[in-house]
């Protein structure tokens, strides 16, 4: 089954579960009858808050699964990247789930039943205990990532010596397609890496695609002492000029527009250059 078919089947499954739950409620309360089956008369008034709570959660899940392809189709003509559409839907789903959970808690806490109120307080307390410590710091890190736009889906970042392509951001962690890692060079390793969002507030976050699509790099070459240094430098400059020279000059004005201060032009290399570092043989 391909991914698109699986998503449709999953949405249909949750809709079916919700419909069956509603049908079961109607049957057991005697609102509907089935031919050949005795009429059921179950008093669910004592469990009414929990019935509504389960129904709200099922309906929320089914609604989000149904709206996922609709949301994607609606934004496809307005949002350039598929990853950004996914990020927008994630944000909407978090808001919808938060609203549903608040509604569930308000129903359970507002019934007037002492046992329901106590259970609701217990659930809220357990949730608070869960989010304390590292999970709470990860949630704060997620808020920093979202509000300050440290990175988004599709960005190439480095966090805590881990480099990769951002493919998932949740309130607790970020998922990367790893580049580099145990392999030499900046190549795809085929591994997923999950990073706690707490790293965003604990350490440095390097984003290679947030500002411009260009990053500066260097190639280290060993030149023996007996070699002609000027000739070696000329050959290196010629090679760099052939590879990146026109690209750097064509995008010079575009990159300068990104500078926060004018004097940064004095420190940022806008042409290929050779740097020497003398070491013992």
DSSP string of 180-232, one letter each residue:
STTSSSS-EEEEEEEEETTHHHHS-EEESSSS-S-----------TTS-HHHH
Show the domain range for 43. Answer: 3-131
Residue range 33-58: mean pLDDT, rounded: 75
pLDDT at 121: 61
10/47 same-domain check: yes
- Which CATH number belongs to the domain containing residue 172 in this structure? 2.30.30.60
Question: Does residue 142 fall inside a structural domain?
Answer: no
Tokens of 147: 């509000």
57/177 same-domain check: no
Q: Is the pLDDT of residue 113 over 60?
A: no
Residue range 105-129: mean pLDDT, rounded: 62
159/231 same-domain check: no
Distance, C-alpha 234 to centroid of its chain: 46
pLDDT at 132: 59
Question: Does residue 267 fall inside a structural domain?
Answer: yes
Mark which of 207, 223, 240 sits at the end of a domain.
207
pLDDT at 166: 92
47/110 same-domain check: yes
Question: Does residue 146 fall inside a structural domain?
Answer: no
Cβ neighbours, 10 Å, residue 87: 19
pLDDT band at 37 (very low <50, low <70, confident <90, very high): low
85/18 same-domain check: yes
| CB distance 103 to 56 below 8 Å | yes
Q: What percent of the chain has pLDDT over 90?
A: 8
User: Over the chain, what is the mean pLDDT?
Assistant: 80
pLDDT at 145: 92
**Residue whose entry in the numeric block shows the structure tokens 């392999």:** 183
Question: Does residue 143 fall inside a structural domain?
Answer: no
162/243 same-domain check: no
Higher pLDDT, 179 or 2: 179
Residue range 94-105: mean pLDDT, rounded: 82
38/120 same-domain check: yes
107/15 same-domain check: yes
169/261 same-domain check: no
pLDDT band at 39 (very low <50, low <70, confident <90, very high): low
189/156 same-domain check: yes
pLDDT at 76: 80
Question: Does residue 105 fall inside a structural domain?
Answer: yes
Q: Is the pLDDT of residue 34 over 70?
A: no
25/39 same-domain check: yes
Question: Does residue 137 fall inside a structural domain?
Answer: no
Mark which of 83, 98, 131 sits at the end of a domain.
131
Instruction: Calculate ∠ Cα 234-238-242, nearest 5°.
Output: 170
Domain count along the chain: 3
Residue range 48-61: mean pLDDT, rounded: 87
pLDDT at 176: 92
Q: Is the pLDDT of residue 131 over 60?
A: no
Residue range 78-86: mean pLDDT, rounded: 72
Lowest mean pLDDT of 4-8, 120-124, 197-201, 206-210, name the range: 120-124
Mark which of 190, 207, 224 sits at the end of a domain.
207
89/181 same-domain check: no
């Amino acid at each position: 089954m391909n991914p698109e078919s699986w998503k449709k089947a999953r949405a249909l499954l949750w809709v079916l579960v919700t419909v069956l739950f509603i049908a079961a409620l109607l049957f057991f309360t005697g609102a509907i009858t089935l031919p050949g089956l005795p009429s059921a008369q179950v008093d669910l008034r004592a469990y009414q808050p929990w019935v509504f709570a389960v129904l709200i959660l099922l309906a929320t899940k089914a609604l989000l699964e149904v709206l996922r392809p609709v949301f994607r189709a609606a934004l496809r003509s307005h949002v350039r990247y598929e990853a950004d559409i996914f990020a927008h839907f994630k944000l909407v789903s978090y808001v919808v789930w938060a609203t549903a959970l608040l509604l569930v808690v308000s129903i359970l806490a507002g019934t007037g039943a002492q046992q329901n109120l106590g259970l609701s307080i217990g659930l809220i307390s357990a949730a608070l205990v869960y989010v304390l410590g590292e999970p709470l710091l990860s949630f704060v890190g997620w808020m920093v990532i979202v509000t300050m736009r440290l990175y988004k889906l599709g960005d190439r970042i480095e966090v805590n010596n881990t480099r990769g392509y951002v493919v998932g951001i949740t309130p607790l962690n970020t998922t990367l397609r790893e580049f580099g890692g145990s392999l030499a060079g900046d190549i795809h390793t085929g591994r997923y890496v999950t990073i706690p969002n707490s790293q965003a507030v604990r350490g440095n976050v390097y984003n290679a695609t947030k500002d411009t699509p260009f990053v500066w790099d260097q190639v280290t070459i060993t030149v023996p002492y007996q070699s002609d240094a000027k000739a070696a430098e000329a050959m290196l400059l010629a090679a760099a000029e052939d590879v990146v020279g026109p690209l750097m000059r064509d995008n010079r004005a575009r990159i300068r527009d990104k500078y926060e201060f004018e004097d940064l032009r004095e420190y940022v290399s806008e042409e290929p250059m050779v740097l020497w570092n003398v070491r013992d043989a």
